[in-house]
Amino acid sequence: MIRAEDYPVDPWRLRETRLDLDQLGASESLFALSNGHIGLRGNLDEGEPHGLPGTYLNSVHEVRPLPYAEAGYGYPEAGQTVVNVPNGKLIRVLVDDEPFDIRYGDLHSHTRTLDLRTGILTREAEWRSPSGAAIRLRTERLVSLHQRAIAAFRMTVEPIDAAVQLVLQSELVVNEQMPPASDDPRVAADLEAPFVAEDVLRSGSAVTLVHSTKRSGLRVGSGIDHEVSGPPKLHTEVEAFDDLARFTVSAPLEPGESVCLTKYLAYGWSSRRTVPAVRDQVAAALAAARQHGWDGICAQQRAILDEFWAGADVEVDGDDELQQAVRFGLFQVLQASARAEHRPIPAKGLTGTGYDGHTFWDTEVFVLPLLSYTAPHAAADALRWRLDILPIAQERAQVLGLHGAAFPWRTITGAECSGYWPAGTAAFHINADIAMAADRHAWVSGDEKFECEIALPLLVETARLWISLGHHDTDGAFRIDGVTGPDEYSAVADNNVFTNLMARQNLRAAVRVCEQWPEQAERLSVADAELAAWRAAADSMTVPFDDRLGVHPQAEGFTRHAVLDFESLPPEAYPLMMSVPYVQLYRKQVVKQADLVLAMHLCGDEFTPEQKRRNFEYYEQVTVRDSSLSAATQAVLAAEVGHLDLALDYTAETALVDLRDLASNTSHGLHLAALAGTWSALVAGFGGLRDVNRCLCFAPQLPRGLTGLRFALLFRGSRLRVEIDEHEATYTLESGDSALELAHHGEAFTLEPKSSVTKQLPVRRQLPAPTQPKGRAPARRRGSATSSGSPTAEPTTPGPITENGAV
């Protein structure tokens, strides 16, 4: 785990006060910068030491074979893996011919600070070389949210107590030496040196390189340019080679003098454009960066973030650590999506190589709800990407003998990349997840063009899948058999409740949108008979219920399975898929991650309050949270049914999964869905936000330990602010010209523009806490505050947790 004392709690900054080389990989993920197009891991400027070097461009990947012990029809033949593109972060420092390397000499001080309001990562260090020369170094870096193709860096170096000879080497390195990426030497060779040189252009202090990947055929352009100031004797030179560009600055420095180097880094890539086109795109981006300059780029960054925080900030009273964590999560979700522009939002964003850089269902279920309400343009872009890959999903459905579209379980460019079909191909719920996200976004944004051009075809083609996948039995009930729900410890089951209820939502939304846009639906060959089939399937959807126990089985027959013997499992057995055969997991009552509980969140109107409480308490006993996706959903439902203290425990777990490295794998990249889940745990959990049935409803209730919660939502061009304390909630329509129809704990009311309405909170419910499997209870977060104002937590962690089946 990351030591909390190394990262002091600060409401607007992530600050590292001690550099722990054993946690270098995790800190590189925490300090990663991105704009959804470019991703830079938070490696030290000088390049070494490092945990995992990483510079990524969204969707730039290499193709690799997927080996199978036994082949089968319909198995994907190739996988896709994100690759490390040319690294332009490097600025090596030499002092009197000795390289600045924190492993040698004496590091007197070292801090790194990520400012969430400016988007700038700052590093400050004082170092004395083995031979005694001392320097003070300050660096700043950002990835522009305004200029999509640009990152910028500034380094200032000065001697402390004696003259030094300083050399700075600003580099752009291609096919950078990487840690082994695969146990298969053939795959490793492709991934460690994926690029072939195509062009080199040197002009003044700038160098532009163009390369292409060996297998996937992608063309990548990268370039660097510089501005430098210092003493009169300063000297510069430029070198350019196939796989290396270097700008060197050398200067003798007396105490009181300094060298300041500003570096601009630009990228462009394409699967279609020529070498000159990609090269010139990079050159143009560098020219624009130099025109704005460092100060101009920083001002653009601050303006964008000021606007974002005005509509997205979540304020938490009573828990300073949680306050920092939710803002960190919001910032990282924005970074992953702001300029993705018709590209996916991977599970790790652009912060690491975890899951090979793939996108899963996480995006639509956990990330897009946040973005639709806070950064709607980014949510729309992510769903446009789904429309872009729709033809590939339609082809996949045909391979599987189905109609409509079968979207991939994991992918970079749209092709299925999962070689394990029970948890991949059979997890058809991803189609309904995408449909739900598109339908919600159309309603929340009020964007009719989006609804007609993007949501409509997505809803139609996913609806067609359900009709071909399911069937009406002899009693007329519509069944969907042989599928895998969110819980990957129960594969290929019949009538998974989550899948069936999400499919019902999908079918009904498709009918509604087709009736609203009949001409566009007709162009998609939607006929009255097809609409009737969708209605009939939705109305007769099978939803299993166990009358004996009074709960919904996760899938048909689930509650009749034997319960896994949790008492016999030692802590090191988790995550279970690393120590228990799947054949044992599939036939027992054990839940990897929220499944039926997630259905109660996303399809809440399908359950009575009593069913929600009984279901939640039943599934708490068998849910082990071997996935980082689970805690946020459990927090939302725990709050709804009245387990408020437990909801706070789960909220803290999802919020701190990376800031405290609870899963021991933050070095692979951030858990983006879990970070987005912090927003859901607070806004949907304690704020009670629900948006089913085209109604914006709230049911706020605070746990012990939180004294206030405030958040803003963007809804149909208006900004709604919700302020909650221990006794009442105030709703304010800060901007917008139209009144909003809202509900507070089931009471409907109208909120006029530029007005506020205050409602009383019901008496706080606090039910007796349910039990979890042995050793799998979340770390307790008590309501009593420490001297710093943060609640204390017992020194326990949930153990290793995973996301999407990978450690």
pLDDT at 178: 81
AA identity, residue 72 = G
Given a cut of 50, is residue 4 above it in pLDDT?
A: yes
How do residues 12-60 score in pLDDT, each as one tens digit? 999 999 999 999 999 999 999 999 999 999 999 999 999 999 999 999 9
For 167-212, write each residue's pLDDT tens digit: 999 999 999 988 765 554 444 445 778 999 999 999 999 999 999 9
Taking the C-alpha atoms of residue 797 and residue 715, their distance in angstroms, rounded to an integer, is 37
3-class DSSP state of 660? coil
DSSP-derived pairing of the beta strands 588-589 and 562-563: parallel
- Cα–Cα dist 193/306, whole Å: 40
Question: Residue 64: is its pLDDT beyond 80?
Answer: yes
pLDDT, mean of residues 554-566: 97
Cα–Cα dist 280/206, whole Å: 13
**In the predicted structure, residue 789 carries a pLDDT above the cut 80:** no
* The two structure tokens encoding residue 199: 């062009």
| Sign of the alpha-carbon torsion through 403, 404, 410, 413 | positive
Angle, helices 672-680 vs 644-655, to 10°: value is 150
Residue scoring higher pLDDT (188 or 6): 6
SS3 sequence of 46-106: CCCCCCCCCEEECCCEEEEECCCCCCCCCCCCEEEEECCCCECCCEEEEECCEECCCCCCE
Model confidence over 217-237: pLDDT tens digits?
Answer: 999 999 999 999 999 999 999
Residue 783 has what pLDDT? 52
Q: pLDDT at position 72, please?
A: 87
Which residues are tagged catalytic? 488
**H helices present in 219-337, as ranges:** 275-312, 320-337
296 pLDDT more than 60 = yes
Q: How far apart are CA 89 and CA 87, in angstroms?
A: 6
Q: Which residues, 6+ apart, have CB-to-CB distance to 377 below 8 Å?
A: none
Q: Which CATH number applies to 31-65+78-310: 2.40.128.130, 2.70.98.40, 3.20.20.80, 3.30.1360.120?
A: 2.70.98.40
Mean pLDDT of 347-366: 97
The pLDDT of residue 92 is 98
Segment 104-112 shows an average pLDDT of 97
Query: Is the pLDDT at 1 greater than 80, yes or no?
Result: no
pTM listed for this prediction: 0.95
At 285, list the tokens.
């981006």
**From the CB of residue 793, how many other CB atoms can be counted at a distance below 10 Å?**
20
Residue 801 in this model has a pLDDT that exceeds 70: no
pLDDT 10s digits, 407-418: 999 999 999 999
pLDDT at residue number 782: 64
* Segment 488-530, tens digit of pLDDT: 999 999 999 999 999 999 999 999 999 999 999 999 999 999 9
Mean pLDDT for 77-101 is 96
Helix (H, G, I), strand (E, B) or coil at 278: helix
Q: Which two tokens stand for residue 532?
A: 């009737």
Produce one character per residue of 140-153: b if its CB has 16 or more CB atoms within 10 Å, e if not. Answer: bbbbbbbbbbbbbb
pLDDT for 150-177, tens place per residue? 999 999 999 999 999 999 999 999 999 8
The pLDDT confidence band at residue 769, using thresholds 50, 70 and 90, is confident
- Residue 797: its pLDDT value, please? 40
Contact 691, 443 (CB under 8 A): yes
| pLDDT (average), residues 646-656 | 97
Q: What confidence tier does 380 reach under pLDDT thresholds 50, 70, 90?
A: very high
Beta strand 91-95 with 98-99 is antiparallel
Residue 587 has pLDDT above 70, yes or no: yes
pLDDT for 785: 35
User: Average pLDDT in the 333-342 region?
Assistant: 96
For 646, the token pair is 């437990």
Euclidean distance between CA atoms 598 and 368, whole angstroms: 15
Whether 452 shows a pLDDT value over 80: the answer reads yes
pLDDT band at 477 (very low <50, low <70, confident <90, very high): very high
Q: CA–CA separation, 752 vs 760, rounded Å?
A: 19
Q: Which of 377, 375, 381 is nearest to 340 (CA)?
A: 381
Closest Cα to residue 343, out of 677, 39, 575?
A: 39
pLDDT of residue 764: 76
Query: Average pLDDT in the 262-268 region?
Result: 98
More confident residue, 143 or 765: 143
Q: Which residue has the tokens 């972060």?
A: 89
Cα-based distances in Å from 80 to 196, 270, 356, 415, 584: 18, 16, 7, 9, 30
Residue 493 is encoded by which pair of tokens?
Answer: 């089951």
Give the pLDDT confidence of 590-634 residue by residue, as tens digits: 999 999 999 999 999 999 999 999 999 999 999 999 999 999 999
CB 297 within 8 A of CB 227: no
Q: What does the alpha-carbon distance between residue 374 and residue 203 come to, in Å, rounded to a whole number?
A: 42
What helix, strand, coil percent values describe the chain, rounded to 5? 35, 25, 40
Report whether pLDDT(798) > 60. Answer: no
Closest residue by Cα to residue 538 from 601, 603, 482, 487 = 603
Distance CA 650, CA 671 (A): 15
Q: In the predicted model, what is the mean pLDDT of the chain?
A: 94
pLDDT at 182: 53
Q: Give residue 795's pLDDT.
A: 34
Stretch 96-113: mean pLDDT: 97
